[in-house]
A = this chain, B = another copy of it.
Amino acid sequence: MYNVGIDLGGTNIATGIITETGEMICSRSSFTQSGQSYETILHQIAGEVSALLRDAGLDPSAISSVGIGIPGVVNAKAGTVIQCTNLRWYKKPVQSDLESLIHLPVRIENDANLAALAEYMAGAARGVSSCILLTLGTGIGGAIIENGHILTGKSGQAGEFGHMTLVADGIPCACGRFGCMEQYCSATALIRMARQILGQRPDSTLVTLTRGDLTALTAKMIIDAARDGDSAARTTFDRFTHYLAIVLDSLTNLLDPEMILLGGGISSAGSFLLDAVLREFPRFEHGSPRPVPRIALASLRNHAGIIGAGLLSAQGCSFA
């Protein structure tokens, strides 16, 4: 038997056929028009599931269940989306509404939790008992796995790493707080730091590359230039990884996990990122050596969400 995994984004619907061990044997993806109604998107999802089965040459009877990852707050037990700002969904019974369209059992979960589940069941955290996944992209998300359970918290909102405070009374954040980690460790933050530094560094290759238009800067440009030895880019990247190492150290003090995984767009910097963070991670405390978790890169990349959704009903996976 197989499962269908669905990763619902703000602008596209990615689906895949997932085996019980987390292998993806077929996938597809389609864009969603912005501003579409709840009903239209559900019908589009149902159509994608049919097309996926056709692509894979599978009958619906070969599918045990369908899992969906939602980029928002979910009551997984009730099968409802509490809030999904991107899609403007509030209090929607997605599970039952979709079941009546596709005639297969449906389960829903938060998408970051599913990415962590996928890494835990079929990716870089396989065999690990406690793990934190941090996704470093435009914003920052993540999830916590403890003893094989994903911590969801009382309201399904655990793992909101982006808005833990890194600098009390620091840089204002869109959430209303000051000094959130997202203002120091996201791709957005990396770009902001680079712009500040490049103001005084007209010699940087990044200024040449963007023809002086720093609004054209991307995180990838900065990381590539740092790797190539550009001094201003390296200063920026070192500041970024300094902050990131502080966050990983704080999370270690709080949760003492066996492993911390870095995912999201920034993690495509690979070992260049990992080595820089490891250099900054404190290995001593009160003068004595201290336990350091394994810090590694998430391995399933863009597929983590679909695979995690496909594994929602798999044996051995559970949410606290």
Contacts and interface: CB of A to CB of B under 8 A. Distances in A.
Interface residues of A, number: 53
Contacts of A176: 282, 284-287
Given A159-B254, A168-B166, A249-B165, A320 B146 contact: yes
A161 B250 CA distance: 8
A151 interface: yes
A308 B248 CA distance: 31
A295 to B, nearest CB: 13
Contacts of A254: 144, 158-161, 164, 251, 254
A214 to B, nearest CB: 25
A129 interface: yes
B166 A253 contact: no
A35 interface: no
Interface centre among A129, A160, A254, A285 (most CB of B within 10 A): A254
Interface string A273-308: 000000000101111100101000000000000000
A293 B250 contact: no
Interface of A: 83, 85, 129-130, 144, 146-147, 149, 151-168, 170, 174-177, 184, 243, 246-247, 249-251, 253-258, 282, 284-288, 291, 293, 320
